[in-house]
Structure 1
């Protein structure tokens, strides 16, 4: 647990260094309400009118690298996009309501470095709430989504990779898809991901290396499908052609929904400190064609089985170690993993494992 407390303290500084949202003297501000918004920079009025998105983008464009814009007003940007450029700090102090713009994020940071979003509250139904690619030294602080659909945070699969991404606390309610979906990140730190009534994954890591995550906490996540509160996929953790441990998750908590923890498609290199899984509607844990995964402790109560499996198109799972108390559900291993799984099991769960 020492790593968790250190990581949480480190990431909390992302937001706390700025004080309360909008405090002090931001370089630019957006104020107003209803159908009247004003963007100012210092004592200069940049925009006054009914277009909330234009007021925000005007304020963002007016500041330079190293400066801060605070959006105090709440409003709707509709089916459109706000773009944040390198070195700028964006504070969403009001509530930003958004619509669906196909293939795009309501807020985007692309091919940029040093962007900070210490505060944001978003409602609505975006295609992507926040969309990123080609970022370096990106920092996200206290980010809250209360949506009616869409995907909250997306790092693109087919665009430029990302380096040194930090997130403090990401909270998602009622996304239609994932809360946080990552692709192509080296050096990722997350304090916590809190997912409630989320359609697909709470946290999905894909082609991510050198990651440290404190808590992934899901309630009714991925109900009725094959996703999970925490999912590793698409060679997640593969580094320099191998699977030496470089993905560290302190704790996963999952209630109801679909799977709790799911590792698939040649992923691994992962250590999970503890799990607290109960009443998952699909597998509590499924490791399928994964390499070097160590679940160091925790409990599984009821729900779907703890299962080790493999598809024939990938090499068999290997170098698996699992320490768990399992009650009210089964533990299954089929086929037997390579390099014999290290099981340390307690509880009343039926076991069909290789010994």
Structure 2
């Protein structure tokens, strides 16, 4: 994948692709991507969880640290047994019920088996709170959690190949009323069956999402809120937010607003693909500072695109085919929508600007009807 957006971030991303660095008691430890690419549990993990239902064994080096029937206890024992800069590979599958696995600073957690989870109110099935340099390169999760994964106050968090095949709940959540997160990276995230959002973020300074696929999700695919310095490669939503005002990609709650209150461009999205469901792209509630390079939207059940009280937003190219209208709008409780540039081919649906925004620039082709200022 090419690196786009802010040049300084491109350099940081290129360096990150070369090696993953953990900082432990002995200093920085680099783990080359090539070694991690061998597969989940490859090489010599510092701890492993093996076995099957009713008989799990956790070993750290040559020491058995857990043996028994409790899958959650076996997994947590493996995490707790390793030190910063080390990794645990959970090879066994099982169910943790309505409980939580906690990952501490500097640790690498590989979920190679399938972890089935229950609903623990207000909590994540997997959590890492107030931590530094946590890496979860692999995870397979099923079940109906409150939050599949929950984070806040992290620095240097990285999520790799994440597969959340759920039957309810919310996929990945960064808490609203909690400490900020810095330098968060998600490589390849797949979420299906969530009753709420696939990925919901708050309070992140430095967010990179390479690829997110959301399928049959009740609310948003990627919902980014009160965050800045964001780069997204691809968001791909199929039947996301059907019957709701949510969207495959949604910016909300002052997303992209910098600390000085300005909306200088600091959010970049390479591509959004959306089929069916609710909205395709939605920028709302004093968000902005964003460039979306390309969209491919079709048959969305609500607005294909809605730009509402959004400031400094550019959509550089793409197509909208059928579904709900493309609209620029505003609510009276916020300052009017302003500084918008839209270049699109729109077919088989309408384009409308109401009320008129300030400095809204349309560059349209296609057969869609137009009612713009």
Instruction: Name the TM-score, length of structure 1 as normaliser.
Output: 0.97
CA distance in 1, matches of 2:300, 2:350: 13
Q: Kindly indicate whether structure 1 or structure 2 has the higher relative contact order, using CA contacts under 8 Å at least 6 residues apart.
A: 1
1:186-335 alignment runs, 5 A limit: 186-239=205-258, 240-335=260-355
**Paired residues, what number?**
353
Q: CA RMSD in A?
A: 1.6
**Which of 71, 76, 96 pairs up with 2:90?**
71
Partner Cα separation in structure 2 for residue 12 and residue 233 of structure 1 = 33
What secondary structure, in the 3-state scheme, does the structure 1 residue paired with 2:240 have?
Answer: coil
Gaps of 5+ in 2: 21-32
> Runs of 4+ in structure 1 displaced over 3 angstroms?
1-17
SS in 1 for 2:131: coil
Shift of 1:268: 0.3
TM-score normalised per structure 2: 0.92
For residues 128-168 of structure 1, give each alpha carbon's deviation from its aligned partner in whole angstroms, at most 9, with x where no partner exists: 00000000000100000100000010000001110000110
Three-state SS of the structure 2 residue aligned to 1:242 is coil
SS of the equivalent of 1:108 reads strand
- 127, 133, 155: which one pairs with 1:114? 133
Q: How much has 1:127 moved relative to structure 2?
A: 0.2
- Structure-1 separation of matches of 2:187 and 2:83: 24
Runs (5+) with no aligned partner, structure 1: none
User: Any conservation in 2 of the 1:307–1:333 contact (CA below 8 Å)?
Assistant: yes
Question: What is the CA deviation profile of residues 243-293 of structure 1, one whole-angstrom value per residue up to 9, with x for unaligned ones?
Answer: 000000000000000000000000000000000000000000000000000
- Alignment of structure 1 residues 52-131 onto 2, 5 Å: 52-131=71-150
Change in Cα spacing, 1:16 to 1:317, as seen in structure 2 (3 Å) is farther
C-alpha deviation, 1:8, in angstroms: 9.5
SS at match of 1:56: helix
The aligned counterpart of 2:52 is 33
How far, CA to CA, are the matches of 2:221 and 2:108 in structure 1?
26
Alpha-carbon separation, structure 2, partners of 1:138 and 1:16: 19
